[in-house]
Amino acid sequence: MKKLVLLVSVLITALVLGACGNSDGDSGSGAVGGQPVGQDVPQGVPDEPSVDDPPATGQQDSRPSVPDSYDIRGTWKSVGSEGWGQAQPGAIVLFGDGQATLYSPQDTYAFYKENGTWRLVVTGLLGGTTNFRVVIIDANNIELYSGSDDSPKLVLQRVG
């Protein structure tokens, strides 16, 4: 049974990667400057307003700036009031070279910058995929937003 689950997972991942490949074939390597980490950049991720858009006239911009490069790899703790998958409040989440433990113990992910917005696409062991918009607060704090939510789905703080 375990072999069947693993085989199905590999096949689904291969299908997802094949359907989501970018045109230049570069799969990224870690610290990124607009290049993906872990997988090819998926095409067709819905556009959302960029955090680089200027504030309305007369308003002060309180949003964090968007860095040109960011390395998400490492150990993180879920410190927000909401959870997602395994990343419930207080849980430890790992991001490695293409592997993560956000939704399941064996997720794959792509982390990249698109049109001034950082994106995280997570595919769970059984093939379910979720797209997050990532707001980088600073080197050790990030917020993950899903869809058009105004509040973060996850708040992660780097540990160690």
Q: Residue 129: how many CB atoms within 10 A of its CB?
A: 17
More confident residue, 90 or 60: 90
Could you tell me which residue, 160 or 49, shows the higher pLDDT?
A: 160
Residue 120 has pLDDT above 90, yes or no: yes
pLDDT at 157 over 50: yes
Alpha carbon distance 66, 61 (integer Å): 13
Helix (H, G, I), strand (E, B) or coil at 20: coil
Q: Is the pLDDT of residue 62 over 60?
A: no
Six-digit token string for 75: 């150990």
- Cα 114 from Cα 80, distance rounded (Å): 25
Helix, strand, or coil here: 107?
strand
Mean pLDDT, range 82-109, rounded to an integer: 92
pTM above 0.75, yes or no: no
Q: Are 102 and 85 in contact (CB under 8 A)?
A: yes
| pLDDT of res. 148 | 83
Would the pLDDT of 53 be above 60?
Answer: no
Averaged over 53-63, what is the pLDDT? 45
Task: Give DSSP secondary structure letters for 31-83.
Answer: SBSSS-BSSPPPS-PPP---TTSPPPTT----SPP--S-B---EEEEE-SS--
CB atoms within 10 A of CB 31: 12
